[in-house]
A and B are shown apart, each in its own frame.
Chain A
Amino acid sequence: MAEIVVNIAEEFSKTPGPRSKAEGLFSAEEFLDTILVGKFREALESGKKLTIVLDGTAGYATSFLEGTFGELVRRVSKREVKSTIQFISNEEPYLIDEINQYIDNA
């Protein structure tokens, strides 16, 4: 299956920020609105997988991860998010488990 790739460090920021735009730059809200929702819809419509590359950044705050992937589940559905998105995190492998928890708990 073909895939759409989003590399957060290259396409968004090497220093992802807090949850909301009001809290600071490169927030989860900004990422969701400017990149993720568009790419997610594109993947969904074309039946492709959406691969999110998490490597290359300085690190992610819990608020960013929950604000991005938890919020995406609240906007669409858990089933669609789980079946469409896959993650790559070689530098910090535990991030994937962490994100999956936010998706499950959303």
Chain B
Amino acid sequence: MLNLRKLFWCLFPFALGILIGFLSTQYTLFTIKYEVDIVPSFFSVLTILIGVYIAVVIQKNISDKRVQKDIFIERLVELKEATNKIDDEINSSRRFNELNAMFKNFSSKLSILESLLSHARISKFNTDLAKLKANLLTYKRAATGAVASNNVFTYSPAELIKLNRARLEILKKIDIFILDINTI
């Protein structure tokens, strides 16, 4: 059943073409020329080739870039989630090993993103990456450079303000990064 349908749709355009050709020759309005004009034919072939080029090469590039963008954005969203998890820990238990592990996780994710960008040979985000790395270090220093006791970090009100500022700066940089990625 499926094969018959496929066959029909393969043959139908040919049959339609033959019918249109036949009907057009029945009217004096249409005449068939038996010589070929080189210049218009050349432009027709050129137009077809450009059409094929756009369809095959450019469309593929656009689609590849979209896939790349989606992967980078997905990674950046993961970084935002990692930042929020760190913030949750800072605002609740402030456990020493958990916070260190969370920063390690964030740092690993960021280095994977850097590898992906370099693998895709996209260097225009080097500035965004460098800024994000610097912000990560500021945030990590503020969070894990504090005094610890009984496997828990303790923060003064001033340190908490610094931490919040560093977190917001990271979130802002990630959003800018996402916007920049959307421009490629």
Chain A residues within 8 Å of B, Cβ to Cβ: 15-18, 23-24, 57-63, 66, 91-95, 97-98, 101
Contacts and interface: CB of A to CB of B under 8 A. Distances in A.
Contacts of A97: 133
B60 interface: no
Nearest to A98: B137
Interface stretch (B24-32, B45-53, B141-149): B141-149
Interface in B62-82: none
A94 B145 contact: no
Query: Which label, helix, strand, loop or mixed, suits the secondary structure of the B interface?
Result: helix
B155 interface: no
Contacts of A101: 137
B151 interface: yes
Contact of A58 (B101, B141, B145): B101
22 contacts: A17-B96, A18-B96, A23-B147, A23-B149, A24-B151, A57-B104, A58-B97, A58-B104, A61-B144, A61-B148, A62-B140, A63-B145, A63-B147, A63-B148, A92-B111, A93-B111, A94-B107, A94-B110, A94-B111, A94-B136, A94-B137, A97-B133
A25 to B, nearest CB: 8
B107 A62 contact: no
B97 A59 contact: yes
Residue from the set A17, A57, A63 with the largest chain B CB neighbour count within 10 Å: A63
B108 interface: yes
B147 A62 contact: no
A95 B145 contact: no
